[in-house]
């Protein structure tokens, strides 16, 4: 059996499992269950689901490859994520449960008005559509290189088929399907990374103790960077950026929060959030260790080109795991981990986009009965799947950067206004001119880009993940400029 057919068999088997889980999780479900998960998910199931939820195909492919240029600097950001998770657990979760929100952007309407509500929802829509497309693009590219090129299948058909399959298994289930498939995803991810580490270490001739010593002594395993504040890897940039990235990309993201809001109450939701945050440090640590071992193995077998400037780090994992010296079973575990990360993340994004568009932009939950709401949700789900497929194909023809950088760059621009809106709403009692909010939220990212460019040109200062904070601060400043003359408490 050739490698492409082994990979296809693995993908088909995983999809069959996903469809079975979707059917089992959604028996006797209605539209409310699809949008909220029924608010019955146990905290430990949510915690397991949340471990894998932020890990997409980008993480699976790009994080191991990042060690080539940036060492373990990403772990500085992950430490910031944990602090951000505590903020989410004890500030945002009680707020959302107190207001009984189906979509978290409903808070913006209660606090400011309908224009602000729709602005937040549209920025989430753009953020999630672009971010999810970039993440899924990485997986489609990897599968194209490993499977579909050998079979003569074009990239566009690859995207259409895989997007259609994800659409089908999430169509009926909604949030319930997301929670249970993310639970499966977490187990598959951890098992695949651990087993890949084992096989690579074995290929290098290391036992467990020798592996630990080799990784610890390798230059790529450096974690903390305090030496150059101008660099994007500087500790305080990444740590503080990580805090607010977690708040914005998890706490203020309908995709991430739809899992925690499926818990029965705020206390149960908080448990799941904190446990998942702590566990993620160790999971990302495994990815980084794997990256060092992959680099060692690639060097040993002469995989790297003489000119490393042309080498794409995202190709490291796939090229090593399918090389001749590694057993086929390791490649199968690589594919299981990759598709578990990618398909679950894409399915979750489709579900959250459907929920937000149906509830926040169309307001269908307030206008339609159960039958019409179900029909509307399914039509929106179709539109979201088609839109995601189109964005992936466009990104394929335009992209020239590594995927994980693209994801966080997009997030810094599009989540900044969302972070600014929520921060202003919770920190200030001032009411604002609702109709001016869309202008403020468009102007803030534009000004952020200009400032980023100017600092680089004038001072050779690279704005990293703190771009998110700058964007949010400009949004808050704009809201202050357009505040109303009388305070309004909500």
> Whole-model pTM?
0.73
pLDDT at 474: 95
Tell me how far the alpha carbon of residue 279 is from its chain's centroid.
16
Please answer whether residues 466 and 473 qualify as being in contact, where contact means their C-beta atoms are separated by less than 8 angstroms.
Answer: no
In the chain, domain spans: 3-481
pLDDT at res. 16: 82
Taking the CA atoms of the chain, what radius of gyration do you get in angstroms?
Answer: 22
Secondary structure class of 206 (helix, strand, coil): coil
Q: How far is CA 483 from CA 119, 378, 480, in A?
A: 17, 39, 5
> Do 430 and 483 form a contact (C-beta atoms < 8 A)?
yes
pLDDT at residue 37, as a whole number: 46
Give the burial class of 265: count Cβ atoms within 10 A of its Cβ; 0-12 exposed, 13-18 middle, 19 or more buried: exposed
Low-confidence residues of the chain: pLDDT under 70: 1-3, 22, 24-44, 46, 49, 52-54, 56-58, 102, 169, 171-179, 306-311, 399-408, 464-465, 485-490
CA distances from 57 to 78, 230, 334, 365 (A): 17, 29, 11, 32
Measured CA to CA, the distance from residue 82 to residue 466 in angstroms comes to 17
Cα–Cα distance measured from residue 106 to residue 36, given in angstroms and rounded to the nearest whole number: 14
Residues 26, 352: Cα–Cα separation, whole Å: 17
CB-side exposure of 364: number of CA atoms within 13 Å?
Answer: 22
Q: Which residues does 224 contact at the CB level (< 8 Å), separation at least 6?
A: 76, 235
* Tokens at 423, concatenated: 């921060």
The DSSP 8-state label assigned to residue 308 in this structure reads G
Give the three-state DSSP class for 312: coil
CATH of 3-481, picked from 1.10.4160.10, 1.10.10.10, 1.10.1040.10, 3.40.50.12780, is 1.10.4160.10
**Nearest alpha-carbon partner for 142 in 342, 325, 330:** 342
**Structure confidence by residue, pLDDT tens digits, 388-442:** 888 888 877 776 555 555 666 777 788 889 999 999 998 888 889 999 999 999 9
């Amino acid at each position: 059996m050739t490698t492409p057919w082994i990979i296809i068999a693995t993908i088909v088997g995983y999809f069959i499992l996903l469809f079975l889980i979707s059917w089992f999780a959604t028996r006797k479900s209605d539209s409310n269950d699809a949008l909220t998960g029924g608010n019955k998910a146990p905290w430990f199931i949510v915690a397991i689901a949340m471990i894998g939820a932020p890990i997409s195909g980008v993480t699976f492919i790009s994080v191991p490859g990042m060690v080539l240029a940036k060492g373990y600097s990403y772990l500085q950001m992950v430490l910031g994520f944990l602090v951000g998770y505590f903020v989410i657990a004890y500030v945002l979760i009680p707020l959302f449960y107190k207001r009984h929100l189906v979509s978290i952007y409903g808070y913006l309407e209660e606090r400011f008005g309908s224009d602000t509500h729709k602005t937040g929802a549209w920025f989430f829509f753009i953020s999630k559509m672009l971010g999810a497309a970039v993440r899924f693009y990485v997986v489609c590219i990897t599968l194209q290189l490993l499977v579909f090129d050998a079979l003569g299948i074009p990239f566009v058909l690859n995207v259409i088929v895989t997007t259609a399959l994800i659409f089908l298994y999430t169509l009926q289930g909604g949030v319930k399907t997301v929670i249970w498939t993310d639970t499966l995803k977490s187990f598959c991810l951890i098992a695949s990374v651990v087993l890949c580490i084992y096989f690579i270490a074995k290929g290098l001739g290391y036992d467990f103790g020798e592996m630990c010593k080799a990784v610890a002594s390798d230059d790529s395993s450096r974690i903390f960077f305090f030496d150059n504040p101008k660099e994007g890897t500087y500790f305080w940039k990444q740590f503080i950026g990580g805090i607010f990235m977690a708040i914005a990309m998890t706490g203020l993201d309908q995709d991430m929060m739809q899992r925690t809001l499926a818990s029965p109450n705020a206390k149960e939701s908080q448990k799941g959030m904190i446990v998942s945050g702590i566990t993620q440090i160790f999971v990302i640590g495994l990815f980084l260790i794997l990256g060092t071992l992959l680099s060692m193995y690639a060097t040993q077998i002469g995989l790297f080109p003489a000119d490393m400037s042309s080498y794409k780090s995202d190709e490291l994992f796939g090229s090593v795991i399918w090389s001749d010296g590694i057993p086929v079973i390791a490649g199968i575990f690589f594919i299981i981990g990759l598709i578990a990360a990618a398909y679950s993340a894409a399915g979750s994004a489709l579900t959250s986009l459907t929920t937000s568009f149906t509830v926040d932009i169309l307001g269908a939950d307030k206008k339609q009965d159960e039958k019409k709401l179900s029909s509307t949700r399914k039509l929106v789900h179709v539109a979201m799947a088609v839109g995601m497929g189109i964005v992936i194909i466009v990104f394929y023809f335009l992209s020239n950067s590594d995927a994980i950088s693209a994801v966080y760059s997009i997030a810094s621009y599009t989540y900044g206004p969302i972070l600014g809106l929520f921060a202003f709403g919770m920190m200030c009692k001032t009411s604002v001119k609702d109709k001016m909010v869309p202008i403020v939220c468009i102007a803030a990212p534009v000004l952020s880009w200009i400032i980023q460019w100017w600092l680089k040109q004038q001072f050779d200062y690279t704005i990293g993940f703190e771009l998110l904070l700058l964007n949010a601060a400009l949004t808050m400043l704009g809201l202050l400029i357009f505040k109303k003359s009388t305070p309004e408490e909500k």
